[in-house]
A and B are shown apart, each in its own frame.
Chain A
Amino acid sequence: MNISPLMDDGYAGEPAKRVLNYMQGRKQKGDPIVGIYCGYAPIELIQAMGLVPAVLCAFSKVPIPAAETVLPANLCPLIKSSYGFIIEGTCPFYAMSQAVIAETTCDGKKKMFELIADIKPTHVMDLPQVPDDREARRNWKRMILKLQGFLERTFDREADEKRIEAALKSSNRKNALMRKLFDYAALIPPVLHWKEMYDVGFLALPATGEEMAPILEVLLEKLEQRVREGTHFGKPGAPRVLVSGCPVGGDATKIFKVIEEAGGVVVAPDACTGMKAFAGVFEEDSGDPIAAIADRYLDIPCACMTPNNRRLTDLTAMIDRFKPDAVVDFVLQACHGYSVESYKIGRHVQETHGLPFLKVETDYADGDTGQLRTRIEALFESI
C-alpha cells in the first residue's frame, strides 16, 4: 500500500504521540490539562475554561500484569490497563493532568476510580443510566454543573454561559467536519483508512473546533484528490466491515488488523474511539448551554444505558451510510453491558438488515489472533 499518509506530519499511524505533542504545546502555553476516561466527559465545558482534556491511557496490555497484583484477572482489560498505567506511572497524559474526570459508567470502573482517587484530584460524575427518564436529563445537567464547580475550584477559573455556548458551537463545527471526513470511508471502495480515522480522531477529540477546522479542511481536500485519482483501500470487492461495541485502541486494534489480514476493509469503526465521539449535534442558542451539553452526552448510545435503543437506531443509520457487508460486535472480556447487549445487536443486524453478524469477545493479549482470524474468515465466507 503506497498511499501517502493523510496526516503527513511525521506522526502518521502514531496518534498518541501526535496528541502528546499537542498537549505539550498547550501546556507550555500555560493551559492546564485535565485527564478524562470516557466519552461522557463533557469536553466543551472543559474547553470553555481554557483547560485541555486528555484521554488517559487504557489500551495497552503492558501494564496489565502490574494491575493484576491488585485487581482481579477476570476484569475488563480496559480497566486493568488504565489502573496499571497509573500505578506503574507510565501514562504521560496522567502525569501531565492536574485532575481527572471519571464517570460511573460501569461497576469495574467505579471501584477502580476509588483506588486512584487519592493520587490526583479525581471527580466522579454520577451518570444516569435510564436516559429516557425525564429525571435523567435533569440529574445529568446537575452533575455537569457540579463538575463545573469542581473545575472552577481546582483550577481557579470560571466559565460563563457565553463561553460555554461558544465552546459547543465550536464542537458542532468540528464534529460536522469530522463526519464529512468519515464520508470518504463510506465511499465504495473506501478512500479513507481506519488508521487515518484514528490519526485524525485522536487529535480532534481534545482539540477545539478553531484548532481543527483548518487542519480538517486540508485533509478533506486531500481526500477529494484521492477520489479524483482513484486512490482507495482494499482489493476490489473486499468485504466492508462495520465494527461496533467496546472501545478499540492500541492493542485492541488487533481486531481491525485481523479483519484486514482476512481481506476485509474496516469502513465504520463505531465505538467511542471511532465515530461515536463525533456524532450528535448540540442545540445552539438554546439559552441553556449546560442543558444542551447534557442532552447531547446523554444521547451517547453506550451499553451502560438501559434501554439502549438509540444504539439500534444509530446502527441502522450507520449501515445505510457505510453499506457494510458484515457487522462485527467487539466485546472486551468481562464487559457485561456490551456482552449482553450483543444479542439484541445481532438480531437487529441479521433480521432488520439481513447482514452477517459476528460477536467477538477478547482482551488485549495476542494469544487468540488465530482464533479471531478463523471467525472473521468464516464471517466473510458467509457473505
Chain B
Amino acid sequence: MERRFAGIDIGSRTIELVVVDGKGRVVKSLKADTGFDPMAEARRLMDGVGYDGIMATGYGRNLFEIAFEAPTVTEIKAHARGARAFFAQATSVLDIGGQDSKAIALFANGKVKKFEMNDRCAAGTGKFLEIMARTLGFDIEAFGDEALRAEKETAISSMCTVFAESEVTSLIAKGQDRREIALGVHASVMRRVAAMLQRAAPEGDVVFTGGVANNGCLRSLLAQKLGRKVRHSPQAQFAGALGAALIAMEGKGR
C-alpha cells in the first residue's frame, strides 16, 4: 500500500488536516473550528484518517507535539512550502489567518529568506475583517464581494480593531453607505499588509494563502496597490496543513 503523510495546521480559528500520497498529491482535506479545546477537535478531525507520518504546524503545534508525539514545523515554513505547492515559482508569500498575518520572502529554491509577522494585534488579520463584517451586517463569506460593489471608499483611519469598530459604528450612524464603509475597511487591512509585504518580500508575484485569501476585494486592492500579481489557490486555507504534510513527506521536518 502506498505511504501517506498528513499535515495538521492548528490555527487560532480553524484546524485543517491534509493528507498527501507518496507523490505529494492531496488525497484528503478536512477542516474544523478550533473551538476552546483544540486537541479534542484535532483528535476528532483525525479520527479514521490513515497516514504513515504526521507533522503539526500553527499556534497549537507545541500542544500537539506533546499530545501526539509528532514533529512540528513553524507556520512560516509550512505556508512557504504550501505556497510552492500551489505555485512552484513563488518567492513572495502573504498569509492572513484568523489572528495573525505574515509576509515571507523565499529564495529561488523555496527556502525561507526573510519574514515578518503581525501577531500582537488584530489589525490586518481575519479577525479584524470578521468583526467589521459583523458590525456592518454582512456575512463574512460575502464581505469582499459586497465591498467590491461600492463606487467609492469611505476612509477608515483607525488601525486598532477596537477603535475602528467604533469608527465604523459612528459612520453607520451618519448614514454612510455600508458598502463604501466595507471598502474602506478592506483598504485599511490592505494598507497594513502591503506595507509588511514591501518590507519583507518586495519582489515578484505574491502568493496569497490562508482563509482571507478567498476575499476577492482584498486581492484586487493589494494587486492595485503593489503593482504586482496577487495569486491564490481555491485551497488557500489549506496551505499550512498542505505544507506540513509535504514537509513530512520529504522528511525535512525535525
Are B59 and A381 in touch, CB under 8 angstroms? no
**Interface majority SS (helix, strand, loop, mixed), chain A:** helix
Verify if B44 is at the interface (C-beta below 8 Å from A): no
B112: chain A residues at CB < 8 Å are: 378, 381-382
Instruction: Report how many residues on chain B are interfacial, defined by Cβ distance under 8 Å.
Output: 16
CB-nearest residue of chain A to B61: A374
Verify if B117 is at the interface (C-beta below 8 Å from A): yes
**Known interface pairs A378-B112, A378-B115, A382-B112; A371-B120 also in contact (CB < 8 Å):** yes
Cα A373 to Cα B120 in complex, Å, equals 13
Instruction: Report how many residues on chain A are interfacial, defined by Cβ distance under 8 Å.
Output: 12
B114: chain A residues at CB < 8 Å are: 350, 357, 382
Cα A373 to Cα B113 in complex, Å, equals 18
Are B74 and A374 in touch, CB under 8 angstroms? yes
Are B111 and A382 in touch, CB under 8 angstroms? yes
CB-nearest residue of chain A to B115: A378
Q: How far is the CB of A160 from chain B (nearest CB, A)?
A: 53
Verify if B119 is at the interface (C-beta below 8 Å from A): yes
Verify if B75 is at the interface (C-beta below 8 Å from A): yes
Q: How far is the CB of B184 from chain A (nearest CB, A)?
A: 26
Q: How far is the CB of A332 from chain B (nearest CB, A)?
A: 14
Are A381 and B119 in touch, CB under 8 angstroms? no
Q: Chain A 321-365, CB within 8 Å of chain B: the 1/0 string?
A: 000000000000000000000000000001000000100000000
B113: chain A residues at CB < 8 Å are: 382
CB-nearest residue of chain A to B75: A374
**Known interface pairs A368-B120, A371-B117, A371-B119; A378-B74 also in contact (CB < 8 Å):** yes
Which residues of chain B (66-85) have a CB below 8 Å from chain A? 73-77
Are A374 and B76 in touch, CB under 8 angstroms? yes
Cα A377 to Cα B65 in complex, Å, equals 14
Cα A375 to Cα B115 in complex, Å, equals 9
Nearest 4 interchain pairs by C-beta: A378-B76, A378-B74, A382-B112, A377-B74
**Known interface pairs A370-B59, A371-B117, A371-B119; A381-B75 also in contact (CB < 8 Å):** no
A378: chain B residues at CB < 8 Å are: 74-77, 112, 115
CB-nearest residue of chain A to B111: A382
Are A381 and B117 in touch, CB under 8 angstroms? no
Cα A357 to Cα B105 in complex, Å, equals 13
Cα A370 to Cα B74 in complex, Å, equals 11
Q: Chain B 113-134, CB within 8 Å of chain A: the 1/0 string?
A: 1110101100000000000000
